[in-house]
Amino acid sequence: MTAEREFSGNNQEQASDALKEVVQAAYNQRIDSLFVALDHQQWGSFDPQSNTVQLHEQHQAGDQDLLDLAVVYTVLNGGTVFAVESERVPAQSPIAAVFRY
């Protein structure tokens, strides 16, 4: 099944382009394939203890790029990352993931 098909309306529980959900899934070893736009950043923070993600429009002290964080967790947990141009990310979002389960 292609990534584009995963993002069609019938498979929403198997894939997501919601950054908060993707970061949480990456940390929790749920991502099989991650697509991330090369030319985007999203500042914020992730607290693994409470599994919460905070998004910020501007960089704040202590922030990290959450797209990069999702990439790191995906790779550490055995997932595959595709860093591509924005227009090649499924669902027209800066990040998209296909879940393992």
Distance of CA 71 to the CA centre of its chain: 7
* pLDDT over 50 (residue 5): no
* pLDDT over 60 (residue 74): yes
Stretch 54-68: mean pLDDT: 95
Q: Given the structure tokens 């992730």, which residue do they identify? A: 46
Backbone phi, psi, residue 51, to 5°: 55, 40
- With 0-12 / 13-18 / 19 or more C-beta atoms within 10 angstroms meaning exposed / middle / buried, residue 4 is exposed
* pLDDT over 80 (residue 2): no
The tokens describing 25, both together, are 């899934």
Cβ pair 33, 98 in contact under 8 A: yes
Cβ pair 97, 66 in contact under 8 A: no
Enter the pTM of the model: 0.86
